[in-house]
Amino acid sequence: MFDIGRYRFGAVKVRISGGWIERFINRCLAAGFCLWQIKTDGSDTTLWMRLDDFRRVREIASDSHVEVKVIERRGCPFLMRKLLRRKGLVVGPMLFLLLIHIFTLFVWQVDVVGNHAVDSDEILRLASENGIHVGALCSSVEPREAEQAIMANCGRLVWCGVRKEGTRIVVEVVEKTPRRAQPDHAGDVVARTDGVLTELIVLSGTAVKSSGDTVKAGDTLIIGVEPRYGELADAIDMEATRTVGAKGIARARVWYEGYGEVPLETIKGERTQRAIYAVDVQMGERSFVWQSAEISDAAMYETEKKIVKWRNQIFPVEIIIHIYYECEPISTAISREEATLLAKERAWQSVAERIPKDAEVKERRSDIISEESASIVRVRALAETIEEIGIGPDSAKTETEE
Amino acid sequence: MKRKRWQRVGALLDIPDDVTMNVTRITMVGRHHLLIENHKGIIEYTSELLRIHVDEGELFIGGVGLSLSVIEPEQVEVQGTIAVMRYV
């Protein structure tokens, strides 16, 4: 038996010869030693004992007049001693740790993040000039000084941050957002839609239309120039004027027209109990017919598409099932009054979709334009509104950005 | 006197004698394995003979190829082919 405790502290097998073996054993027991695997062949006796006990066995052996000789050694202390004799095994790990330590003293990677317009090489060059480059000593890197130097030398940056991540240096930058190019002409207020101007108040710029004028979509209402300070207001001379962003309130009377129709008799399909199935197999972008459906041209069908999935897993091969529900045509007739109401509603709906939310509706009118005997009731709706129609350069820009 | 008192206490509490009075406890498993607890030491040891000092006197064990697989101050474990065992 050789347990882990004995292996950890070491054990020796000794040969005992001569003297009084029994006395030796009893003295060992009295000293608290643990002995095991005691065997005798008449003249010699062998036994195992702990290494610690063996170091104290000399006096006992002397008293018992026996000769003790170690014949086998086992355990960690002996293994360690054996390993320590091999210098390579000791020096190797130490050298390994030393090299790891030395390697971690240097910068191995420099990364630039956050740049789009500014070239990474330019930032790396600036960083390199300030001691941040591959191979530099980590301890020599001064992030704060490098940040300031990069910011000072690269005018296109708003912010720069340098941080150490072990042997990696990250240079994080935020670029300036390029200002939008100013147009030569700062911008006019133009008409968004056709209408008749009812009110034109100029806040900035010069009016080129006046109240009561009929304007078309795109017509300039207020031009983006105004006389310089101290000049006469009516002198629109380009040399004596300055370019401004035109601003103003341009309210106009605008008309909207809508149309709606409803047939007196409609045909709807009602599902029967019959359905036809077709199966397609789709592989990537290509689709194959696995099972086709025989559809009659005379019958009505409602179609439904189902994609076969298994536990929400997406496979490269999809099975698509087309279900054709057979429908029976059923004719539904409505009265002319009901159709007229429905047509008016549709016509007004088409008008309402186009009227801006802030428009003030002044008048509404709807006319039936179909004949009395016609099978379809047609209605035209007209709405008259007062609304803001001017689009200035600011609002135009906002719309573009949106 | 003291020994008898302990013996009575042990009998009263139903405690074995080997616990109360250090009486030798001998466990034999088959013919090749023997465990002796509460021994007092080895008197003589050869591969055919083992004499152990116990509280009750001397325990004589005879056999072939006897070895002490473990010996500790409290117990001794004997292995080998045991032929005879008696108190002397």
Q: What is the DSSP string of A96-138?
A: HHHHHHHHTTB--EEEEES-SSS-HHHHHHHHHHTT-STT-BG
Contacts of B47 in chain A (CB under 8 A): 39-42
Confidence (pLDDT) at A397: 44
Q: What is the mean pLDDT of each run of 10 residues along chain A (402 residues)?
A: 78 91 92 92 89 91 91 91 86 93 92 90 90 90 90 89 91 81 66 90 86 88 74 52 81 92 86 88 85 80 83 77 89 88 90 88 87 86 91 57 38
Confidence (pLDDT) at A73: 92
| Chain B contact for A39 (CB, 8 A cutoff) | yes
Contacts of A30 in chain B (CB under 8 A): 73
Confidence (pLDDT) at B7: 75
Residues in chain B, overall count: 88
Confidence (pLDDT) at A229: 56
Which residue of B41, B44, B71 is in closest CB contact with A38? B71
Task: Please report, for residues A27, A363, B37, the alpha-carbon distance to residue A30 in angstroms, rounded to integers and kept in the order given.
Answer: 5, 123, 15
**Could you tell me which residues of chain B have a Cβ less than 8 Å from any Cβ in chain A?**
41-47, 67-73
Asked if A346 and A370 touch (Cβ cutoff 8 Å), the reply is: no
Q: What is the pLDDT of residues A303-339, one digit of tens each?
A: 888 887 776 677 778 888 999 998 888 888 888 888 8
Q: What CA–CA distance (Å, rounded) separates B7 from B10?
A: 5
What percent of chain B is predicted at pLDDT more than 90? 65
Cβ pair B71:A29 closer than 8 A: yes
* Residues 6+ away with beta carbon under 8 Å from A175: A114, A115, A116, A117, A118, A156, A157, A158
Confidence (pLDDT) at A400: 39
Q: How confident is the model at residue B47 (pLDDT cuts 50, 70, 90)?
A: very high
Q: Using the predicted structure, report yes or no on whether residue B3 has a pLDDT greater than 60.
A: yes
Interface with chain B: mutation pick from A21, A37, A40, highest number of B CBs within 10 Å: A40
Contacts of A1 in chain B (CB under 8 A): 69-70
Contacts of A38 in chain B (CB under 8 A): 45, 67-69, 71
**Tokens read off for A372:** 């009395």
Task: Please report, for residues A75, A85, A277, the alpha-carbon distance to residue A78 in angstroms, rounded to integers and kept in the order given.
Answer: 6, 11, 82
Q: What CA–CA distance (Å, rounded) separates A67 from A186?
A: 114
Cβ pair B43:A22 closer than 8 A: yes
Which residue of A22, A34, A41 is in closest CB contact with B72? A34
* Residues 6+ away with beta carbon under 8 Å from A375: A263, A264, A265
* A224-A201-A207 Cα angle (round to 5): 40
The stretches of A130-271 forming alpha helices (DSSP H) are 143-153
Confidence (pLDDT) at B26: 93
Q: Is A131 left (phi over 0), alpha (psi -120 to 50) or beta?
A: left
Contacts of B71 in chain A (CB under 8 A): 25, 29, 34-36, 38
Confidence (pLDDT) at A24: 92
Cβ pair A38:B47 closer than 8 A: no
| Chain B contact for A42 (CB, 8 A cutoff) | yes
CA distance B29 to chain A (A): 18
What's the whole-model pTM score? 0.40
Cβ pair A34:B42 closer than 8 A: no
Confidence (pLDDT) at A272: 86
Confidence (pLDDT) at A110: 92
Q: Using the predicted structure, report yes or no on whether residue B11 has a pLDDT greater than 70.
A: yes
Confidence (pLDDT) at A391: 85
Closest CA to A394 of A247, A259, A274, A268: A247
Contacts of A41 in chain B (CB under 8 A): 47
| Chain B contact for A337 (CB, 8 A cutoff) | no
Q: What CA–CA distance (Å, rounded) separates A400 from A187?
A: 14
Contacts of B68 in chain A (CB under 8 A): 25, 35-38, 47
Q: What is the 3-state secondary structure (H, E, C) of A28-57?
A: HHHCCCCEEEEEECCCEEEEEEEHHHHCCH
Which residue of A26, A34, A41 is in closest CB contact with B47? A41
ipTM of predicted assembly, 2 dp: 0.83
Question: B21 or A200, which is more confident?
Answer: A200
Contacts of B70 in chain A (CB under 8 A): 1, 34-36
The SS3 of residue A219 is coil
Interface with chain A: mutation pick from B52, B59, B67, highest number of A CBs within 10 Å: B67
Q: What is the pLDDT of residues B48-81, one digit of tens each?
A: 999 999 988 999 999 999 999 999 988 999 999 9
CA distance A43 to chain B (A): 9
Confidence (pLDDT) at A394: 63
**Among chain A residues, CA nearest to B79:** A37
Q: In which residue are the tokens 């300031």 written?
A: A148
A239 residue type, one letter: E
Q: What CA–CA distance (Å, rounded) separates A132 from A169?
A: 8
Cβ pair A29:B41 closer than 8 A: yes
| Chain B contact for A4 (CB, 8 A cutoff) | no
Count of C-beta atoms within a 10 Å radius of residue A45? 23
